[in-house]
Structure formats: structure tokens, C-alpha cells
Amino acid sequence: MKNRITELFKIKYPIIQAGMVWCSGWELASAVSTAGGLGLIGAGSMHPETLSEHIKKCQKATSNPFGVNVPLMYPQVEEIMKIIVDLNVPIVFTSAGNPKAWTEPLQEEGIKVAHVVSSLKFAKKCEEAGVDAIVAEGFEAGGHNGREETTTFCLVPMVSKGISIPLIAAGGIASGRGMLAAMALGAEGVQIGSRFAASVESSASQKFKDLIVGSIEGSTELMLKQLTPVRLIKNKFYDQVKAAELSCANTETLIKLLGNGRAKRGMFEGDLDEGELEIGQVAALIDHVDRAEDILKEIWNEYLLEGKKLGEMIISAKQ
Amino acid sequence: MKNRITELFKIKYPIIQAGMVWCSGWELASAVSTAGGLGLIGAGSMHPETLSEHIKKCQKATSNPFGVNVPLMYPQVEEIMKIIVDLNVPIVFTSAGNPKAWTEPLQEEGIKVAHVVSSLKFAKKCEEAGVDAIVAEGFEAGGHNGREETTTFCLVPMVSKGISIPLIAAGGIASGRGMLAAMALGAEGVQIGSRFAASVESSASQKFKDLIVGSIEGSTELMLKQLTPVRLIKNKFYDQVKAAELSCANTETLIKLLGNGRAKRGMFEGDLDEGELEIGQVAALIDHVDRAEDILKEIWNEYLLEGKKLGEMIISAKQ
């Protein structure tokens, strides 16, 4: 399959593994890229020297293109970007910040730049800033999220109509059927987080992976809207946040409650009570911890199979 | 096209116009049914004698099957059901209540019964209760909504995997692309509300229709979660609810603020300040007030066109 996304990133399948804090190090990113998708190292949870190591290991592990996801609010973003340029990483996904600041400097180094948004308004700003592709991420996605609460089903066609650069859909996608639906809505590729967070190669704690596999509908909720909205699995920490929000706690109280290092504690160290456990609604549809390669193959094969079935049904439909 | 939904309801296209308070009387329902979809009269905003009139007018206006949507919390539900049976309405969509109470009595009269749910858990209960079809409605849908906040993108595959009776997707669908995505996720039909609320034949106020057409991303929000969650357009009434919720108003205060008759005042009488304006997120994608027949044709043609394109792309993709 060839489209603007596979051509842009020089990949076989238009399937991108989301760069996620505490889940997507070199092992996951290289496994996805080797299997023909686009693997992303999540820089958001790494010190600059850690990122440097992960990039080098990823380069040794795969000869295929991979990228780094950089949240632009990251305090040492200049240092991070220097490492990326120096180590010749070909692709950067930026998020959580203004795309104007880094798009041109990175592109001047030959790097392809995609930016993650949760609204059409911001997608248009990204297009103006010259990014090569946009990731539109719906309300159902895990982790940090938009304030408009626009779902993937509404956001993807909205952004697809409003911009002309290639569009990657994210949020709620964990299967070939989900990929097919995203393509039907106007995307040319998909970014998948939760499913890969629960993969063998994910650096997340096994306890967190098991919790994802065991979660059902209603297991997550978008919380901390006063700070930055974030979708969390309901655990003891969630209960504390929920109680605080229901009793109208102010921003200061919520910041104090959140504290520091909870995401690491939960997702990486496996403290399922006190940790901040970021995952998407689609976790309810994830039933196994699989190898990244198998996930990619399964999604691609289901996409082809269901796409053919749907296409044949429609082509044979009487008009 | 033939599938379990078109066969069940004896319709040409598996497109159902949602039964909506203050929008879907006999004019809309008969227009949709005449054009080959399934029109539903929304009983939720009608006195029994009004419903009786609407059914009779609908029968005169179309010879095709149509149905009535009955919220089971409706105080005079027995009277409503008697009218439906006496007037030989062939299809009933029930919502907001226990499907066990009415499914069998209606089916014994030869009536087909579908029930609207927002969760897999409730979908399974419906299947046990023997309903003929299920409508799974996501978080993005207008009006009353589920507590789990599961979006259409996650809900439809979940319900599709969990039940074996025919599934209709709802929430976020206003176009052929949306319909295609819903079918990709496992639905066999779609229920469309907002788009038909803004149709020529909708009984909503022209002011409300214009507001729908003018709305953009972020124009709606799911409110009143302490009572029954409902998706509203942001207006002066919304501002009051938002302020009350942010200051931790109790249930009593919210009930008092909501008062009586606000939905009629807003959607039917056109008081855009003080009215309760129920609409889906997909309103942002609706740009014209069109005739029901044209909406149906446009959705069906786009579904076929985009489906063929997607199918051909996939069939030609190298594996």
C-alpha cells in the first residue's frame, strides 16, 4: 500500500505507534519499525542522556525509519532537539505546544515533522506552520487530551475537510476495523497508543499491562480538566482526584494531589494504587499482551479483510 | 442493499432517523420513510393525543414503514403503547428504561422492537430481553447520554463483539463517510439525529436549525451529569448550568435550575438563551438545512462512493 503517509515516512504500513511516556523506548519503537510500521520513542519521560541511549539502541536494532515524540512543554526541549538532529533521527512528532517554534528548524535538517492536535483550529495552525503531517487525536485517547472533548468520529472528518496535508487519526484505534473506520473518515494513517502500551516490547510494568488487558467499558475517565485534561484508569489515585473534583477543590489542591512522578510510579513501577495510569478508552477492547510485530500484522490483516468485505458489499449493492 | 436491518424493518437503506423530542413529528418521519430510510416519530415530547394525531398523519403521508421512539420513563407510557398497538405502528424504538417491560408485549402484537443503549452491559440485557435490534449511541450524541462516556468509535466494536442481534450505530454520524466508518466498526445500520434535527421537515424552530448549522467544534458539552447527562449547545442556559456545576451545586439546585419545559422553549419555540438545546457534537459538521430526502440521498451516495474508493484501494493493496 502506498499513500502520502507511507511515502512521507518511508514505511510499509500507515500505522504509527504512539510515542508514550514510560511505555515506548527503543525496544518497542524498533520492533514496530522493523515490522513495517513507524515506531516512536517517547521522549516525554526521558532525561536527555536517556533519550540519546534509546536512539542509539534503536538505530542498532532496526535499519528502518523511526521517530521521536517530543512534548514541546518539555523543559530541556533545546537539548532534546539537538540530540535528535545530531543523531540523524529522520522523523519527529511534536505535541503539547506551539508547532511554529520547531517545525522549520527541524525541517532544515531534513527531518519530517508531524504535530499532534485535538482540534481543527490547532490543525490549521499546524498547517500554516508548515508541518508535514497532522495527528488528530480524539477524546477517547489515553493520556493528555483536548478541552473541546471532540471524539475521533467527529474530529477526523472535521480536520480532513479543513486541511490538505496528510492526516493521521488517533484515539480509540486498536484493531483493523478501527483503522478501516479511521480511513473511512478521511485519515491516511493511524496512530495507535494503548494497544502498544500493552505489548511485550512496551517498557511499562507488567502489572500495568495486565490492568489494561483486564479493563472494561467505563474503566477510564478524562480527569483533571482544571489542569491539563488526562484520561486515566480508575484506581485509588483516580478516586482521590474524583473526590477532590466533586468537592470543588481548587487548582492548587489538585496540583498538590497530583504531585510529581506519579506516572512513572504507576505505569513504569507498577504501583496500581497510587500511580497515574494513562490509557485510552479502547483498553476495554484489548484482551492480550502481544508482540508488536503480531499486533501490526493482526491490525493490517484485519484491515485488509474487513476492508475487502465492506468494499465488496458496497460494490455489489444496488444503487 | 440487503442486510439484517433492511430486512427487519423492510426499508431500502439501513439509515434510521432518530426519534427526537421537538424535532421529529410526522412530517420528518414520513419524509424519511418515503425516501427509503426509517423515520421515527419522537413520542417523548408529545401528549398521547398528539402522538395519535402524528401517527395518523404519518400513515396518510407514507405507505412505507415508520416507527415511534418511546422513552420508557415517559409517565403515560401505557397509554402511549396502547395507541401504538391500536394504530398498527409496525416498529418501536424504546430508550431510557428497562427493555424487559415492553419488548414481549409489543412483539406479541407483531411489532419490531429496538432499544437504545450507551453501554455493552445494557446491550447484553437488551439481547436477553429479546429485542430485535440494538442502537448503540456514543458519547458524542446529542441529548441524553450514558455515564461511561464511551465514544462511538469504542462502543460500536465493543457491542458488535458482545451481541449477535443486529446493531445500529448512533452518535457522531451525519454523512456517508460517517456511515461507512460505523459499518466498518461492525454496525449494520446507522441512526442519525442532529442532521435530521436541522432538516426542512424537522419541527424544530428555524432559529434552532440555524444555530445547529452555525455551530463549530466545542459548541456542545455533556452537562448535568449529576442528574441525567445531556449534550447541550453552549448558550446562556448552559452558562448557568456550567457555573452551578463549577461551584458544586447540589442535585436540588440543578433540578430547580433546569425547571420544566426548557427543551420545548429552546428547540421548539426558539428561545436560544433560556432554552435547553440538545444536539450532537457532529453539529459542527452540518452546514446546511436540507430536505430529508436530499439528506438521505446525499448520505447514501457518499457512502457508496467512499466505500467503493476505500474498497478498491484495499483490494488493490499489495499484501
Q: Do A120 and B217 touch (CB under 8 A)?
A: yes
Q: Cβ separation of A171 and B186 shorter than 8 Å? A: no
* Digit-coded pLDDT (tens) for B120-150: 999 999 999 999 999 999 999 999 999 999 9
- By the 8 A CB rule, do A162 and A141 touch? no
Residue B308: list chain A partners with CB under 8 A: 311, 314-315
Tens-place pLDDT, residues A219-247: 999 999 999 999 999 999 999 999 999 99
Mutate to test the interface with B, among A153, A180, A303 (most CBs of B within 10 A): A153
Helix (H) or strand (E) holding A298: helix A292-316
Residues of A in contact with B1 (CB under 8 A): 313, 317-318
pLDDT digits (tens, 9 = 90+) for A103-119: 999 999 999 999 999 99
DSSP string, A183-246: HHTT-SEEEE-HHHHTSTT--S-HHHHHHHHH--TTSEEEE-TTSS-EEEE-SHHHHHHHHHHH
Cell of B230: 445531556
CA distance B248 to chain A (A): 6
CA distance B8 to chain A (A): 18
Cα(A27)–Cα(A238) distance, integer angstroms = 30
pLDDT at A165 over 90: yes
Residue A12 near chain B (CB below 8 Å): no
Residue A1's pLDDT is 86
Cβ-contact B276, B264 below 8 angstroms:
no
Which amino acid, one-letter code, is at A177?
A: R
Handedness of CA B206, B207, B208, B211 (dihedral sign): positive
Instruction: Render pLDDT for B32-84 as a digit per residue (tens, 0 to 9).
Output: 999 999 999 999 999 999 999 999 999 999 999 999 999 999 889 999 999 99
Mean pLDDT, chain B, integer = 97
Q: Could you tell me which residues come within 8 angstroms of residue B185 by beta carbon, excluding any fewer than 6 positions away?
A: A177, A178, A181, B152, B153, B156, B157, B160, B169
Does the beta-carbon distance from B285 to A158 stay under 8 Å? yes
Angle at alpha carbon of residue A195, lines to A166 and A188, rounded to 5° = 15
Mean pLDDT of B207-213: 98
Sheet of strand B143-144: strand arrangement:
B143-144, B230-233, B220-223
B54 vs chain A: nearest CA distance in angstroms? Answer: 31
B124 at A interface, C-beta within 8 A: no
Element (H, E) at B120: helix B120-129
Question: A303 contacts in B (CB within 8 Å)?
Answer: 314
Contacts of A153 in chain B (CB under 8 A): 138, 140, 151-153, 171-173, 178, 181, 282
What domains does chain B contain, in order, with CATH numbers?
4-204+285-316 (3.20.20.70), 206-282 (no CATH)
Nearby residues of A316 by Cβ (< 8 Å), 6 or more positions away? none
Using a CB-CB cut-off of 8 Å, the residues of chain A touching B171 are 153
pLDDT > 90: what percent of chain A?
97
Q: Which residues pair with A223 in a beta bridge?
A: A230
**A chain contacts of residue B173, beta-carbon cutoff 8 Å:** 153
Q: List chain B residues with CB under 8 Å of A161.
A: 285
Q: A40 touching B, CB under 8 A?
A: no
Q: How deeply is A254 buried, as exposed, middle or buried, from its count of CB atoms within 10 A (0-12, 13-18, 19+)?
A: middle
Q: Are B153 and A173 within 8 A, CB to CB? A: yes
By C-alpha distance, the chain B residue nearest A309 is B311
> Would the pTM count as exceeding 0.90?
yes
The Cβ of residue A75 has, within 10 Å, a number of other Cβ atoms equal to 7
B225 touches chain A (CB under 8 A): no
At residue A305, the pLDDT reads: 96
B191 at interface of A, judged by CB pairs closer than 8 A: no
What ipTM was predicted for this assembly? 0.97
Tell me: pLDDT of A168 over 80.
yes
